[in-house]
Amino acid sequence: MFNHKPATKTRLAPAIRQELTAIAGPENCLFEQPDLFTYGYDAGSQTALPQAVVFPGSSEQVSAITQVANRLSVPLVPRGAGSGLTGGAVPARGGIVLSFQRMRRILEIDKANQLCVVEPGVVNGDLQKALQDCGLFFPPDPASAEFSTIGGNIAENAGGIRAVKYGVTKDYVMGLEVVLPSGDIIRTGSKCKKDVVGYDLTELFVGSEGTLGTITRAILKLVSIPEARQTLIAFFPDMARAANLVASARRREPVPAVMEFMDHECLRALDAARGVNRAEQARGMLLIELDGPAHQVKQGIHDLVALCRQHGASDVQEARTPEERSELWTLRRGLHASLHLLQEHWFEEDISVPAASIPVLLESLQSIAVAHDLIMANFGHMGDGNVHISFQGKRTALSGRQCEQVRRAIYRATVALEGRIAAEHGIGLDKMHHIGWNLNPATLKFMATIKQTIDPRNILNPGKVFPL
């Protein structure tokens, strides 16, 4: 873990502070240690104190601040809501945090072309609310949607609950405005569906975790709100039966928009939160949602109920009203908090495998839990192969060395199924020393060459992604 540096060593030179103040205004700059602490961590476990926090109000101000940082080789760390889980927004080497709390305008909603233009500080949930009256929505739907920002979603290539049908953030980013480490402002992509003018630079920045450029504007593709939605919840005597249902469900029309799963430990956590005893009756649960034309959804949900029963579901419940549907989603979105009723501290992992390999992966995770004497809770997006893992020692808390052994076992099982050690939470600080599980030295060298070419002074979010 990074330690907060003493206050005497966090101060920028007076001349630099004056430059930043002149660019953004004194009311939009923080330099004193008590003010800086809030910007030294994200939702993960890593912490490090910045030397300054600046709140730019425009792309031009971002450019001017970046030029100062580049000239003086001062680290620059873009920050949205700080909701990431792998230390991506943590200022690992000090420097300046660029917070986009002021740049949160929805600049345009184009109903005719089903797109919008937004600044990076726009909160995902606020955008969804603004789009509702237009009959549109932005499909990427991370669990943090009520507070995570679009800029952060793009930087991490966020996935979310609807990815099984709709895909992830990169599938909806049509173009970007980006401030390079030099301070130059570039624009990638366009509002056109067909566009082969030059290299496709947009995807270079999506998922780059703020290491290549600072996103200051985004053109996003939107989708019409479906005519109907229907949700069901199914309980199973074991997770294997639930997992084996997935392949059949994904081959049907309409394709489920959502296929979430929770294992026995997750059900125990929900029981603790709600004061019920569901975990005594079932070992696993699926939450499935269909959307689309009303007649297709009606028939599709009927077929899914039958499919769940064919795969051994002990109980299947349909949400009959919007209130019942909302209650089901409250359970899912509150799961992470509920787990802390079972254990105060969990180690967490976010991995993915090809969706059809989920049954094998869950068997491997169970074996790892037994071998290391763990309490392990597995949940996530079964329809797209993304599993979130929370683990801790069953009898005593794991040491750092023991945790590392468990992580390696999880990665080994994941890679054996051609999976990835990071699905939607990024590499950040937490996984940069493990990136070699998926990327060979030649690939890493090529990525490092791109970083060096764009950011020769290594000012943009240094100490992330690449192993030291």
- The DSSP call for residue 384 is G
pLDDT of residue 2: 36
pLDDT digits (tens, 9 = 90+) for 346-401: 999 999 999 889 999 999 999 999 999 999 999 999 889 999 999 999 999 999 99
- Strands (DSSP E) contained in 358-398 are 374-381, 386-393
8 Å CB contact between 30 and 36: yes
8 Å CB contact between 99 and 39: yes
pLDDT reading at 6 higher than 70: no
pLDDT digits (tens, 9 = 90+) for 414-446: 999 999 999 999 999 999 999 999 999 999 999
d(CA 320, CA 230): 8
Beta pairing, strands 258-263 & 284-292: antiparallel
Sketch the domain layout of the chain as residue ranges: 7-99, 106-224, 228-416
What is the CATH code for 7-99? 3.30.43.10
pTM: 0.92
8 Å CB contact between 74 and 16: yes
8 Å CB contact between 388 and 380: yes
CATH T-level topology, domain 106-224: 3.30.465
Instruction: State the average pLDDT over residues 321-334.
Output: 86
d(CA 415, CA 408): 10
More confident of the two residues 197 and 252: 197
Architecture (CATH level 2) of domain 228-416: 3-Layer(aba) Sandwich (3.40)
Quick check: helix, strand or coil at residue 217? strand
Question: What tokens appear for 15 in the block?
Answer: 């001349």
pLDDT more than 70, % of the chain:
98
Asked if omega into 50 is within 30° of 0 (cis), the reply is: no
Residue labelled with tokens 């079932």: 282
The residues facing 116 across adjacent strands are 109, 220
Please provide the average confidence, as pLDDT, over all residues in the chain: 93
d(CA 265, CA 340): 11
pLDDT digits (tens, 9 = 90+) for 124-160: 999 999 999 999 999 998 888 899 999 999 999 999 8
